[in-house]
Amino acid sequence: MKNTPFTEKHIALGAKMAAFAGYNMPISYTGINDEHQAVRTNAGVFDVSHMGEFILKGENALDLIQRVTSNDASKLTAGKAQYSCLPNNEGGIVDDLLVYCIEENKVYMLVVNASNIEKDWNWISGFNTKGVEMHNISDKTCLLAIQGPNATSILQPLTEVDLVNMKYYTFTKGTFAGVDNVVISATGYTGAGGIEIYFEDKDGAADKIWNAIFAEGGPKGLKPIGLGARDTLRLEMGFCLYGNDIDDTTSPLEAGLGWITKFTKPFTSSELFAKQKAEGVSKKLVGFEMIDKGIPRHDYEIKDAAGNTIGRVTSGTQSPSMQKAIGLGYVKTAFAALDTEIFIAVRDKLLKAKVVKVPFLG
């Protein structure tokens, strides 16, 4: 099992650790609800150094990205990022990812899910027929996500970069906590605002940055946050988790990701997706909240009033912010309209729920 440069710090802080995507990762420190509320109301720090990062360079780098991703990366200028996905040949999703434009038309960074690093590398490499220079920098790249409404103001003293006024999905390179060449990005997967910072652990950079963040933020209530709260935070926003809500068998149009599926250029499965868009899809990913008491869990069956199976739950939890049980799941399109009554099969009971708008937090 791999460690990140911060693993010993998590253990020293008393984190509950577990294996995740081959890494020894913190699941929680003081409890998921407590950590969740810290991010929603103030700020928290996530170690997400297990994520994968690829650099693509060369005059054909954009062409390669355009052919393998669903979004239109030609819209990106230097310092901008976009959310996208890698479709497979059958209309499913290899992975979802972020595309960072470092130098327009020439240098890009792709940020992929930890569990899919090798899979994504092999998939993209298979389309690299025009000599694009590819570098897998995952093992040497640290990534901290500092999220929450007060994250940027808490961290502002650590850098000359104007964190507070950074626009969503933009990034820059600068000095942070005395460490040079840090990529500072106004991104994150919590819906609570904040930044993500990418850097190489050279000359003790990881220690230096972690210690500076908590020296500055600790007195202001900044807390370390585990992957448990990361999951409840993203679910409240209706953000998809690869392996749960999207996978090799789900199309972006079924998953409500039509907004990252651009038909301005050809890409893997684009003709299939265009047909889906024209004809409609047979199932849709919907948000739902429980009416009856019970927690929906991954792979529970979703049924209609007559007990017929109409879909399955992909993610579910007790929402710490809303104090009610919520979930995402695929249902037959006829049952996808808002306020439709559905039932979640929990053991031998059918518990009533209704389809609601996402994000769950208004």
pLDDT tens figures, 270-306: 999 999 999 999 999 999 999 999 999 999 999 999 9
Residue 15 sits in a domain whose CATH number is 3.30.1360.120
Q: What single DSSP character describes residue 359?
A: S
So what's the pLDDT on residue 348? 87
Residue 297 sits in a domain whose CATH number is 2.40.30.110
Asked whether the CA dihedral 306, 285, 355, 319 is positive or negative, the reply is positive
What percent of the chain has pLDDT above 70? 100
pTM above 0.85, yes or no: yes
Q: Which of 173, 203, 236 is the last residue of a domain?
A: 236
42 and 144 both lie in a single domain? yes
Q: Is 320 left (phi over 0), alpha (psi -120 to 50) or beta?
A: alpha
Inside any domain, residue 265: no
312 and 214 both lie in a single domain? no
Q: Is 204 left (phi over 0), alpha (psi -120 to 50) or beta?
A: left
Inside any domain, residue 36: yes
Q: Distance between CA 23 and CA 106 in Å, rounded?
A: 32
229 and 159 both lie in a single domain? yes
What percent of the chain has pLDDT above 90? 99
The count of structural domains within the chain is 2
158 and 228 both lie in a single domain? yes
Do residues 269 and 90 make contact, with C-beta atoms less than 8 angstroms apart? yes
- Range(s) of the domain holding residue 310: 282-356
145 and 230 both lie in a single domain? yes
Q: Which of 202, 236, 270 is the last residue of a domain?
A: 236
Q: Which of 236, 262, 296 is the last residue of a domain?
A: 236
208 and 333 both lie in a single domain? no
The token pair at 172 is: 């820059």
Give pLDDT tens digits for 215-242: 999 999 999 999 999 999 999 999 999 9
Give pLDDT tens digits for 55-89: 999 999 999 999 999 999 999 999 999 999 999 99
293 and 211 both lie in a single domain? no
**C-alpha distances out from residue 69 to 88, 111, 264, 268, Å:** 10, 13, 12, 7
Mean pLDDT of 330-337: 98
Do residues 333 and 292 make contact, with C-beta atoms less than 8 angstroms apart? no
Give pLDDT tens digits for 129-177: 999 999 999 999 999 999 999 999 999 999 999 999 999 999 999 999 9
Q: Distance between CA 123 and CA 92 in Å, rounded?
A: 13
Residue 41 sits at the vertex; the CA angle it makes with 166 and 53, to the nearest 5 degrees, is 50
